[in-house]
């Protein structure tokens, strides 16, 4: 029996085999779509760039060399140099760390928060649901970018505050999804069976409701990543996100603005990094939706 046969067995003999087999099937479905593979590769490249930045980057991201200011792209400096003689390619590579940090932290803060609020709201129903969803709807109908700007203005510029501001404005969409998902099975028999067995509400929500919401949540979070990256870059561009000398892509574009007409590469290059990474998340999210959440996919 080969490995594949074992993974695809119709009657798995253990829980491990069943879940591994399930994962393998999904992976095969994901791999069938070339665009999804491209998206996954872009994301992989981002993670590798962030992990091995000191080995990949040919120069230091912060080391200034005023003798080599504003050089155009060449074999020595692939993306040219900026106004302080720093190698732009190296800074873009190190910038992957900041971007990854921002998207990871925003996802880690806002997705569980939205998930919990939505699941509790849908599970209990009644006035709990009304109040919580009322608040969620108020947040949902706010302009997210403006709200994030106002929060950062109040908290003060900086990468931590940018992350907090983006997280505060992105949980409501997740709460809505988790609630809708919870409603579809809150009256089903396995929940009633759990209640009869005397399981507490906490146990039912944490152990049984939340896991069932995760797949649609993963899809949504992946699709939202592009927006989060753009917002973070926008905050950086306005000088409210990561502060100099951190090589944040949005802030790099902002500094290159002064030289845009004569030294176009300073502002343009980091923009390509933003586009490629955002595109990667979009493509991966589209593919994940087709596999994990077929109800939503297919149409658009």
Partner 1 sequence: MSTTLSSHALRRSAGALGGFAVVTLLTFLGLMAITFFIGRVVPIDPVLSVVGDRATQEQYDAARVAMGLDRPLVVQFFSYVGDVFRGDLGLSVSTNRPVAEDLARVFPATLEMATIGILIGVGMGVPLGVWAAARQGTWVDQLIRVFALLGYSVPAFWLGLVGLVIFYAGLGWVAGPGRVDIFYEGLVPSRTGLMLVDSALAGDWEVFWNALDHLILPATILGFFSLAYIARMTRSFMLDQLGQEYITTARVKGVSEWRVIWAHGFRPIRVPLITVIGLSYAALLEGSVMIETVFSWPGIGNYLTVALLNADMNAVLGATLVIGAVFILINKLSDVLYRILDPRSR
Q: Is there a contact between 111 and 217 (Cβ–Cβ < 8 Å)? A: yes
Q: Which residues bind partner 1 (CB under 8 A)?
A: 134-135, 137-139, 141-147, 149-156, 226-227, 230, 233-234, 237-240, 250, 253, 257, 260-261, 264, 267-268, 271, 274-275, 278-279, 281-283, 299-300
Considering the complex, what minimum distance in angstroms separates the CB of residue 157 from partner 1?
9
Considering the complex, what minimum distance in angstroms separates the CB of residue 165 from partner 1?
10
Tell me whether residue 12 or residue 271 sits nearer to partner 1 (CB atom): 271
Considering the complex, what minimum distance in angstroms separates the CB of residue 228 from partner 1?
12
Considering the complex, what minimum distance in angstroms separates the CB of residue 182 from partner 1?
23
Tell me whether residue 109 or residue 147 sits nearer to partner 1 (CB atom): 147
CA distance linking residue 144 with residue 177, whole number of Å: 18
**Residue that is written with structure tokens 């050089």 in the block:** 71
Tell me whether residue 56 or residue 142 sits nearer to partner 1 (CB atom): 142
CA distance linking residue 119 with residue 253, whole number of Å: 40
Tell me whether residue 142 or residue 191 sits nearer to partner 1 (CB atom): 142
Considering the complex, what minimum distance in angstroms separates the CB of residue 55 from partner 1?
28
Considering the complex, what minimum distance in angstroms separates the CB of residue 232 from partner 1?
10
Tell me whether residue 118 or residue 270 sits nearer to partner 1 (CB atom): 270
Tell me whether residue 144 or residue 179 sits nearer to partner 1 (CB atom): 144
Considering the complex, what minimum distance in angstroms separates the CB of residue 271 from partner 1?
4
Tell me whether residue 113 or residue 147 sits nearer to partner 1 (CB atom): 147
């Amino acid at each position: 029996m080969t490995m594949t046969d074992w993974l695809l067995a119709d009657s798995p003999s253990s829980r491990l085999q069943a879940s591994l087999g399930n994962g393998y099937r999904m992976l095969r479905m994901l791999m069938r779509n070339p665009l999804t593979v491209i998206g996954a590769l872009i994301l992989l490249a981002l993670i590798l760039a962030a992990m091995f930045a000191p080995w990949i980057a040919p120069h230091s991201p912060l080391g200034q060399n005023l003798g080599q200011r504003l050089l155009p792209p060449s074999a020595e400096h692939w993306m040219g140099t900026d106004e302080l003689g720093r190698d732009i390619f190296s800074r873009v590579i190190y910038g992957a760390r900041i971007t990854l940090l921002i998207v990871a932290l925003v996802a880690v803060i806002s997705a569980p928060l939205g998930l919990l609020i939505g699941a509790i709201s849908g599970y209990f129903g009644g006035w709990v649901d009304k109040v919580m969803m009322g608040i969620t709807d108020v947040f949902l109908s706010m302009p997210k970018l403006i709200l994030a700007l106002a929060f950062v203005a109040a908290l003060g510029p900086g990468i931590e505050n940018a992350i907090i501001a983006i997280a505060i404005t992105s949980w409501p969409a997740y709460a809505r999804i988790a609630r809708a998902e919870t409603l579809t099975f809150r009256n089903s028999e396995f929940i009633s069976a759990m209640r009869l067995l005397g399981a507490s509400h906490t146990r039912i929500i944490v152990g049984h409701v939340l896991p069932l919401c995760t797949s649609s949540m993963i899809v949504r979070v992946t699709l939202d990543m592009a927006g989060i990256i753009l917002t973070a870059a926008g905050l950086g561009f306005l000088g409210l996100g990561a502060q100099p000398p951190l090589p944040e892509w949005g802030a790099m574009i902002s500094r290159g603005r002064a030289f845009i007409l004569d030294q176009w590469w300073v502002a343009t290059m980091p923009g390509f990094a933003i586009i490629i990474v955002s595109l990667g998340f979009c493509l991966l999210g589209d593919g994940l939706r087709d596999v994990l959440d077929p109800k939503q996919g297919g149409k658009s």
